Amino acid sequence: MIQSVLESAGIQAARVESEWWTIFWITTIVTVIVLAVLGIALKRGAARTDATTSHDAHLHRYIAFATVLTVVILFGILVRSIVTTRALASERVTDVMQIEVTAYQWWWSVEYQHPEPEQRVRTANELRLPVGRTVAIKLLASDVIHSFWVPSLSGKLDAIPGHEAVLWLRADKAGVYRGQCAEYCGFQHAHMAFVVVAEPPDQFERWIQAQRKTAEQPQTELAQRGLHIVQRSACVMCHTIRGTAAGGRMGPDLTHFASRSTIAAGTLPRTPEHVNNWLADPQAIKPGNRMPTLALSDADRAALVAYLEQLR
């Protein structure tokens, strides 16, 4: 899964990409012409034997022409950029889906808005979108300035503490896209990525219905022990698992932890092994992150992994 501005999959990114190609071709052509003229000049200069030849009579005209042409081209690029920027900012549609994204050091909280608070869905580091529907992303920051960037879907937008920014985007092609924080925000800025999954509307609807449910009850004995550990240890201070005693709001919501594909904001794929290593020593994997190292025995940790892995 790579991230590239040149693989646009949505209307906003398509505008940015077309702008990018326009500027690319203009500058390429200009460079080729300039180098060709330089080559001709060098050749003519070398062929010339008389060092005191007077200036070319038309030289002033050539210079004036090239200057005017440069100004016109640069002005054209400026106008093109303004048109693109305006288009990016003025996308207006009714029936827009609202998602609140809050940037933390160093992860993303995602909340799907709904008039009824019960129907709101909170997840982390993963953004699911129905294909073809415009979404408005309300962007907030909790601590320092971050920047939300999914190159395949839209341009960047800064998330600034105390300020609400709104980003409009629409995914036109189903797929999985990578996004990341694009404003240096501290020690683990590089490990502040997220995944955007664009899927057909009916599939998205099924997903959001599943997310609205409370957490899966543990079936196996091991997983039941895991839930017990969650409820009696430090987990509850920061994490929410709806349907259990865990109600902290400082860290990612874990209600449907196993429905996500990565852990630690795109740092590692979510496999039982990685989850186990993360719980054993989060500071070794992502030094400085807010998750403290917990004193858990190997057996307790195995139970915790078993519990987390069944939170689908």
Partner 1 sequence: MRCWIAIAVLLAASACERERRDFKLPNGEQLTQSTRLSQLQPGSPSQPMTVDSPLEHNAYALSEGKRLYSAYNCVGCHAQGGGAIGPALMDHRWIYGSRGDQIFSTIVQGRPNGMPAFGGRIPDQQVWQLVAYVQSMSGNVPKDAAPSRNDDMQAAKPELRREPKPPVQTGHR
Total Cβ atoms within 10 A of residue 285 = 17
- Number of H-type helices and E-type strands within the chain: 8, 12
Q: How far is the CB of 214 from partner 1 (least distance, A)?
A: 22
Q: Which is nearer to partner 1, 26 or 234 (CB)?
A: 234
CB atoms within 10 A of CB 88: 20
Task: Tell me if 147 sits within 8 A of 193, measured CB to CB.
Answer: no
Cα–Cα distance measured from residue 309 to residue 266, given in angstroms and rounded to the nearest whole number: 17
For partner 1, which is the closer residue by CB, 102 or 152?
Answer: 102
C-beta of 33 vs 250, nearer to partner 1 = 250
Residue located via tokens 């019960």:
118
Rounded least distance, CB 256 to partner 1, Å: 23
Query: Of 271, 260, 177, which Cα lies nearest the Cα of 211?
Result: 260
The residue ranges that bind partner 1 (CB under 8 A) are 161, 232-234, 236-238, 250, 281, 283, 287-288, 292-295
Relative to beta strand 121-124, strand 126-130 is unpaired
In the complex with partner 1, the residue whose CB is nearer, 165 or 234, is 234
Do the beta carbons of residue 267 and residue 187 sit within 8 Å? no
DSSP 102: E
Closest approach of partner 1 to the CB of residue 232, in Å: 7
Token pair in block for residue 128: 């699911």
Closest contact distance (angstroms) between CB of 120 and partner 1 is: 22
Pick 230 or 263: Cβ nearer partner 1? 230
Question: At closest approach, how far in Å is the CB of 95 from partner 1?
Answer: 37
